[in-house]
Structure 1
């Protein structure tokens, strides 16, 4: 098997933004490995895109160090190299309830998946990425910068991921570039895996509240990932790119 074609590994790639990234990179000619704890959705996506020498699904929990170690070995055995790691896996629900009722095990699970997971993935990917002067893209959130009530666990992990990004960029440069994307409202309802249901159109209010005039799409994030892991972004590292249609810059006051 040729090892010349560039290879990306996307975590949490079976559904949502991760699925959009997998589809986008695959369509741009990358060989794509992706992992997820949702085996059914991962296998369905792999089958739909043609699993084989160009794309492969691996079932793995990024919060488990043995699973991550095995995953990295299997990916490199399959592909022969690794050029880019996209740390997208995470607990997507930001609402943890009132902080005085937030159980420690729930808090810890957020940390394990959303923050320790990207650390473990980076740790085991670094030796392979260093060989090819590769790159890492972490998926944070605008909730690292602003909050709604009762979102402490999610916000803390995403804020930590932004900090982990610039720390890794300084530690791993110049061999490996590390950047971060903080999405805002991205409509991924049609990218949630095998179970499909009718998706109601978003309202004009949903779209028009964004300075960009619309709610985001997975392709908006995937296009930035594609740019950041490409050669054109060779002078960009340690940065957090907010992709939210301008909402984080908009003053909102109740009338």
Structure 2
């Protein structure tokens, strides 16, 4: 495992699930870690368990998100590793989906990726700042290229993250910052009930994913030596998006 003891990490949506595992992974690797989340109770519990700093915030509030970013930098030094993980998944029949619901999902899932990245660029927009090490890792989803009925807003938000990632990578080309994203497939956060053998067997990998699979990928992308990986979307789905599926 890489040693990140001189690095400051900021994770959005770090109170539970994949986000919490990312927080834990970087803490175990020695990093100074802060995270934000709307869930105060779970956030405080995660902070106690991991030793990370918790900032309650709604990522859809751009001013509040920038304020947390600045507070983390003031406390720990400039954020070197930014993980945009916060997101909500609300599926509903297309005919019943209001435009306001669509906008809310994009405001939580997609816009914060731009807000945090733009703020990092603005803070570093000096000759000295542009030389600072940096990694931006955005959490998308295999829903960016696969869908089910009623998933329009979620699919749009995740597809937007993939597109925004390669755009940001080019905009950060004058900085010492790489920008990549990860698209998880089926990740078992313990919210799906008991898994069946069929659930496992349908994956070419022979199992359903776990949050640690995504956290380890974040450590890999954050490695200072991996600066030639830029603008990429790393799909972690046990091979499912490569599997031809017909109705049985």
Asked if TM exceeds 0.5, the reply is yes
The match for 1:83 is 80
Distance 1:177 1:100 in 2: 40
Determine which of 114, 117, 128 is the counterpart of 1:119: 114
Distance 1:100 1:161 in 2: 25
Superposed, which structure 2 residues align to 1:188-207 within 5 Å?
188-189=189-190, 200-207=193-200
Determine which of 48, 60, 64 is the counterpart of 1:63: 60
Distance 1:206 1:130 in 2: 46
The match for 2:154 is 154
Superposed, which structure 2 residues align to 1:1-255 within 5 Å?
5-50=6-51, 55-91=52-88, 93-95=89-91, 97-126=92-121, 127-128=123-124, 130=130, 132-175=132-175, 176-189=177-190, 200-255=193-248
Secondary structure of the residue aligned to 1:10 is strand
Task: Compute the RMSD of aligned alpha carbons.
Answer: 1.5
Cα shift at 1:240: 0.3
Cα shift at 1:130: 3.8
Cα shift at 1:232: 2.5
Name whichever of 140-149 and 199-208 sits farther off.
199-208
Q: Does structure 1 retain, via aligned residues, the 8 Å contact 2:12–2:83?
A: yes
Name whichever of 181-190 and 79-88 sits farther off.
181-190
What TM-score do you get using the length of structure 2 for normalisation? 0.92
Q: Which runs of 5+ in 1 are unaligned?
A: 191-198
Name whichever of 59-68 and 147-156 sits farther off.
59-68
Q: How many residue pairs end up in the alignment? A: 238
* Larger RCO (CA within 8 A; separation ≥ 6): 1
Q: Does structure 1 retain, via aligned residues, the 8 Å contact 2:130–2:174?
A: no
Distance 1:115 1:156 in 2: 9
User: What are the superposed Cα offsets for residues 162-197 of structure 1, whole Å, 9 maximum, x if unpaired?
Assistant: 00000000111142110000000001128xxxxxxx
Misfit runs of 4+, over 4 Å: none
Cα shift at 1:133: 2.5
Cα shift at 1:81: 1.9
Distance 2:116 2:224 in 1: 22
Q: Does structure 1 retain, via aligned residues, the 8 Å contact 2:23–2:50?
A: no
Q: Which runs of 5+ in 2 are unaligned?
A: none
Distance 2:96 2:46 in 1: 37
Cα shift at 1:125: 2.1
Cα shift at 1:201: 3.5
Secondary structure of the residue aligned to 1:9 is strand
Distance 2:194 2:130 in 1: 44
User: What are the superposed Cα offsets for residues 103-130 of structure 1, whole Å, 9 maximum, x if unpaired?
Assistant: 0110010110111111111111222574
Cα shift at 1:94: 4.5
Cα shift at 1:200: 4.8
Distance 1:20 1:94 in 2: 22
Secondary structure of the residue aligned to 2:59 is coil
